[in-house]
């Protein structure tokens, strides 16, 4: 089941938390609930992906991008990602979800999302995402210009560039 109550809590929290810039990281303190578990018991690998939505929502809301996109009639889309699991997240454990927008390639935005428990990395992911209209993807540079951040283009981390290249190699379209 999707995390509707958690989404509502994150979005309500974003209204009272300080705003963020595109270079800032969102940090959410969360807990592993029984509905997040697999049979081992630890957080289910698919649940990581769903929880990562919360971090991107918080970042988008606190930068103002979510409200801006809604006014324009644009929709958020995820086009790919990769995650590396390092340590388990057991039942009821607390963890930090850190979400950073690390850059773009002109077309897509790239987020790095980290699950940290007891100051140790439990998982780290890269997510390729963007905004689109009903008909087409909106280039990252067009979004940034409309959002008043034209020219924002930090260098992508080397491992993210390597992931992009690997994705390009396996492209099937």
Q: What is the CATH number of the domain that holds 146?
A: 3.10.129.10
Asked if the structure places residue 139 within a domain, the reply is yes
Asked if the structure places residue 136 within a domain, the reply is yes
* pLDDT more than 90, % of the chain: 95
Containing structural domain, residue 45: 4-11+25-169
11-42 pLDDT, tens digit per residue, is: 999 999 999 999 999 999 999 999 999 999 99
Residue 90 token pair = 């057991």
Backbone angles phi, psi at 158, to 5 degrees: -55, -40
Rounded-to-integer distance, Cα 156 and Cα 22, Å: 14
- How would DSSP label each residue in 70-106? HHHT-EEEEEEEEEEE-S---TT-EEEEEEEEEEE-S
- State yes or no: pLDDT of 172 exceeds 70: no
Asked if the structure places residue 18 within a domain, the reply is no
To 5 degrees, how large is the angle CA 50–CA 166–CA 138?
60
Distances (CA, A) of 122 to 13, 118, 162: 24, 9, 22
| Residue 14, CA atoms < 13 Å, CB-side half-sphere | 23
**What's the domain count of the chain?**
1
Rounded-to-integer distance, Cα 24 and Cα 100, Å: 7
Going by pLDDT thresholds of 50, 70 and 90, the confidence category of residue 171 is: low
pLDDT at 17: 97
Asked if the structure places residue 142 within a domain, the reply is yes
Asked if the structure places residue 118 within a domain, the reply is yes
pTM, entire model: 0.94
102-146 pLDDT, tens digit per residue, is: 999 999 999 999 999 999 999 999 999 999 999 999 999 999 999
Asked if the structure places residue 16 within a domain, the reply is no
């Amino acid at each position: 089941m999707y995390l509707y109550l958690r989404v509502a809590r994150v979005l309500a929290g974003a209204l009272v938390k300080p705003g963020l810039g595109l270079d800032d990281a969102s940090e959410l303190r969360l807990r592993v609930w029984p509905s997040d578990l697999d049979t081992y018991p630890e957080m289910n690998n698919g649940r990581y992906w769903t929880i990562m939505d919360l971090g991107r929502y918080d970042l988008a809301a606190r930068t103002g991008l979510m409200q801006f996109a809604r006014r324009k009639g644009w929709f958020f889309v995820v086009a790919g990602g990769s995650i590396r699991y390092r340590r388990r997240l057991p039942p009821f454990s607390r963890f930090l979800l850190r979400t950073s927008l690390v850059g773009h390639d002109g077309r897509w935005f790239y987020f790095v999302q980290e699950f940290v428990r007891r100051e140790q990395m439990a998982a780290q992911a890269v997510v390729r995402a963007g905004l689109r209209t009903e008909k087409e993807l909106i280039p990252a540079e067009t979004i940034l210009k409309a959002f008043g951040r034209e020219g924002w283009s930090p260098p992508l981390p080397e491992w993210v560039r390597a992931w992009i290249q690997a994705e390009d190699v396996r492209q099937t379209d």
